[in-house]
Amino acid sequence: MLELKMYINGQWVESESGKTFAARNPATGEVIAHLPEGTREDARRAVAAANENKHRIAEMPVWERARLCERIAEVMEKRREELARILTLDQGKPYHTEAQFEVRKAAEGWRNAAEHIKWLETSFIPVEDPHKRVFTIRQPRGVYAIITPWNFPLNIPIEYLAPGLAAGNAIVWVPAPTTSAVAVKMVECLEEAEVPPGVVNLVTGPGPVVGDEIVAHPGTDAVGFTGSSATGEHIARRAAGKPLLLELGGNGPTIILEDADLERAVQVTAEGCFLNAGQICCATERILVHERVHEEVVQLLVSAAQKVRLGDPFDENTTMGPLNNEPTAQKMDRHLRDAQEKGATLLYGGRRAPEYGSDLFYQPTVVDKVPRDSALFQEESFGPVAPVTAASSDEELLRLANDNPLGLVSAVFTESARRAFYFAERLQTGIVNINDSTLYWELHLPFGGASGKRSGIGRLGGKYTLLEMTDLKTICWDIGG
């Protein structure tokens, strides 16, 4: 049992109300920690601390900021086993594969930001006036309000925190309540790496209270958020006028054509459905198959689902842990029920599996003949499900893929370069992966949704996040006649 605190102005503090909430292991239901239930006043104190100390990071030379990010990576690597353990306890993902991998990638994220900030060049602009010299510089925006989800409670925060600090911003961070314990442990790493007091502030508690406060507060200059489309849209309204970096929901359409390497296509597509129990914004959530290979693809998907091993997340044989929380499990229940009522066929799984330790374990599921008007087709399920829909032509497959309000990542499997380009240029998603799953991404690549969809604003990844989290200032200098 851990008794944890928030981090405001370089101090570990309780909530001003004295209230706490419990962090529970989703695999067992057991309480693993108690955390402060932050209030609006706590959030205001954090914003005030960030404003009071933002000069410490903004005035720090770029190379020194890069070294700071490197030190954080070193501390995280030193504490990797502790971080992976609390990550598994807090989130539920398998320790030996997914949790340890996430810690490694999180440390890599700090190193990535350290390198990219050193080479973030700007321009010297030719102008008509011979007496003027015009150039641009990048400056920090000021104080960032950051709100992060529970599915990757180390990696996703670092997609904002690392470039945010590297760019010279102060930060007020509100993590998801169901994974706030591991957030505290990560901030311990920042403190150990000697991030100046007040530059990063952690407030734990309910999003509608502390998250809303930092988003709308006049003392925060910009907002970063990863989460659902509905919450992102609410945040955009509350933060009206502030720069926004929003990575929102996805519905991962994956197109498998009849000329594809089917075994390879289904193998990586199944990973896209079941990794992290499907709780990934770029998860494979719709599998659109050419009717000529429909039966073979469905059989291969069922076989892949049968190989998934539910169980204790600390067991080396476990390949999938529980869902993180009850609302996500309820959404799976609702989506599967709705699809079947509208004519879909359940081929494998389809129910909770409490025999593995808690009611949050969910069977890997394969559903065929999913209708386009079902919630399973139109919404983000965020669970371990492989929904299949067949079509007879490239044009129909494209229409089905784009018939959705979300547009984050898509995938296409084909051996034809012509068909690959046909889909890549017409799919309404921010990323299109050819012959790989919707999960493929590396930390330096631009990641975000397509315009006209509900999948966000801006781009995460490498220099692209640095561009989002800085102001471009133009300086015009009259050098005289």
- Whether the model clears a pTM of 0.85, i.e. scores above it, the answer is yes
Beta bridge partners of 387: 367
Express as a percent the part of the chain with pLDDT over 70.
Answer: 100
Query: Among this protein's residues, is 247 annotated catalytic?
Result: yes
Cα dihedral 361, 153, 116, 142 sign:
positive
pLDDT digits (tens, 9 = 90+) for 380-403: 999 999 999 999 999 999 999 999
Cβ atoms of 231 and 223 closer than 8 Å: no
Mean pLDDT of the chain: 98
Q: What is the C-alpha to C-alpha distance for residues 259 and 249, in angstroms, rounded to an integer?
A: 30
Phi, psi torsion values for 56, nearest 5 degrees: -60, -40
- Whether the predicted pLDDT of 481 surpasses 80: no
DSSP for residue 450: P
- Whether the predicted pLDDT of 343 surpasses 80: yes
What pLDDT score was predicted for residue 226? 98
- Whether the predicted pLDDT of 47 surpasses 90: yes
Sheet-wide strand order for 385-391 = 345-348, 365-368, 385-391, 286-290, 253-256, 409-413, 431-434
Q: What is the CA radius of gyration of the chain?
A: 23
DSSP for residue 158: H
Q: Considering 159, 281, 379, 468, which one is annotated as catalytic?
A: 281
Q: Beta strand 253-256 with 31-36: parallel, antiparallel or unpaired?
A: unpaired
What pLDDT score was predicted for residue 441? 96
Q: Considering 247, 379, 380, 468, which one is annotated as catalytic?
A: 247
User: Would you place residue 113 in the very low, low, confident or very high pLDDT band (cuts 50, 70, 90)?
Assistant: very high
Provide mean pLDDT across the span 221-231: 98
Cα dihedral 94, 98, 104, 108 sign:
negative
Q: What is the C-alpha to C-alpha distance for residues 342 and 351, in angstroms, rounded to an integer?
A: 18
What pLDDT score was predicted for residue 132? 97
Which helix or strand (DSSP H or E) is residue 40 part of? helix 40-58
Cα dihedral 386, 387, 388, 391 sign:
negative
Provide mean pLDDT across the span 312-324: 98
Express as a percent the part of the chain with pLDDT over 90.
Answer: 100
Q: What is the C-alpha to C-alpha distance for residues 392 and 317, in angstroms, rounded to an integer?
A: 40
Domains parsed from the chain with CATH numbers: 2-248+458-474 (3.40.605.10), 253-443 (3.40.309.10)
Cβ atoms of 204 and 180 closer than 8 Å: yes
Cβ atoms of 32 and 89 closer than 8 Å: yes
Phi, psi torsion values for 233, nearest 5 degrees: -70, -35
User: Would you place residue 369 in the very low, low, confident or very high pLDDT band (cuts 50, 70, 90)?
Assistant: very high
What pLDDT score was predicted for residue 379? 97
The residue type found at 246 is L
Provide mean pLDDT across the span 431-445: 97
Which helix or strand (DSSP H or E) is residue 270 part of? helix 262-274
pLDDT digits (tens, 9 = 90+) for 190-201: 999 999 999 999
Q: Which of 175, 195, 360, 155 is nearest to 277 (CA)?
A: 360
Phi, psi torsion values for 21, nearest 5 degrees: -135, 160
Cα dihedral 158, 66, 242, 55 sign:
positive
pLDDT digits (tens, 9 = 90+) for 232-282: 999 999 999 999 999 999 999 999 999 999 999 999 999 999 999 999 999
Beta bridge partners of 352: 362
Buried b (16+ CB within 10 A) or exposed e, 301-329: bbebbeebebbbbeeeebbbbbbbbeebb
- Whether the predicted pLDDT of 351 surpasses 90: yes
Cβ atoms of 426 and 406 closer than 8 Å: no
DSSP for residue 178: G
Dihedral, CA atoms, 458, 461, 467, 469, nearest 10 degrees? 80
What pLDDT score was predicted for residue 85? 98
Cβ atoms of 363 and 323 closer than 8 Å: no
Long-range contact set of residues 331-334: C-beta below 8 Å, sequence gap at least 24: 331/381, 331/382, 331/383, 332/362, 332/365, 332/381, 332/382, 332/383, 332/384, 332/385, 334/375
- Whether the predicted pLDDT of 140 surpasses 80: yes
